[in-house]
Amino acid sequence: MPTLAMAQDDIVLKLPPPQTPRNTSLVDALKARKSSREFSGKSLPPGLVSSLLWTAFGVNRPDSGKRTAPSAHNWQEIDVYAALPDGMYHYDAVAHALRQTVPGDLRRLTGVQDFVERAPLNLVYVANLARMTDASAEDRTFYLAADAGFIAQNVYLFCASEGLATVVRGLIDRKALAAAMSLRLDQRIVLAQTVGYPAG
Ligand SMILES: Cc1cc2nc3c(=O)[nH]c(=O)nc-3n(C[C@H](O)[C@H](O)[C@H](O)COP(=O)(O)O)c2cc1C
């Protein structure tokens, strides 16, 4: 990963500016979009991770702070976490940086399928219920699922356009992962998404 800046106990990976993705048309990306479950262990270059995270849920309108994926009421309640071999990171979209939240390799805990510990990156989509103000429990559950889905599809299309393998996953031991991530009670793990180079 790129520049490693350490401030007190904080580990922050400043991401390089997102690269202009390959010039794939939307139609070609849609034709190539698919779920893959066989990943190479090869790590992803920082520029690609940068573009991937920006595509997932980066700030695309700095004037308003709005993002590449829509969210109900513009709550922006989904936090994107990245499980990398050396730690779990929170994607700070405004700073376009990854902030380590837990040291160590948590990739295995992001799912129950074998490939999750081998792939170089597992994204975890976590809803912060505290941001979903004035909503019923039923509405929250509906909207947070929808909002995570938009982010996942952004990642699917990015991966399709870049020749990467990906699969979104609901099969997660949420209790174990939430404990490992030290999440609060008002944070809910929605989905995870594995990303890497295709095997072979
Ligand atoms: C909400 C959701 C949860 C999913 N959970 C898993 C999962 O836990 N594990 C997995 O291997 N695939 C999972 N998938 C992927 C689906 O199995 C896959 O999208 C479906 O078989 C269609 O294949 P395609 O994506 O290649 O079109 C999930 C997909 C969605 C939308």
User: Over the stretch 187-196, which tens digit does the pLDDT of each residue have?
Assistant: 999 999 999 9
Check whether 37 has a pLDDT greater than 50: yes
H or E stretch covering 141: helix 137-162
pLDDT-derived band at 24, boundaries 50, 70, 90? confident
pTM of the model: 0.95
Please compute the mean of the pLDDT values over residues 80-96 and round it to a whole number: 98
Mean pLDDT in residue range 172-199 = 98
Give the residue among 164, 177, 156 at the shortest CA–CA distance from 112. 177
* Residue 21's pLDDT band (cuts 50, 70, 90): low
- pLDDT at residue 6 tops 60: no
Mutational pocket test of ligand 1: of 168, 171, 189, the residue with most ligand atoms within 8 Å of the beta carbon: 168
- Ligand 1: lining residues by beta carbon, under 6 Å: 34-35, 37, 113, 167-171, 191
Amino acid 1: pLDDT: 45
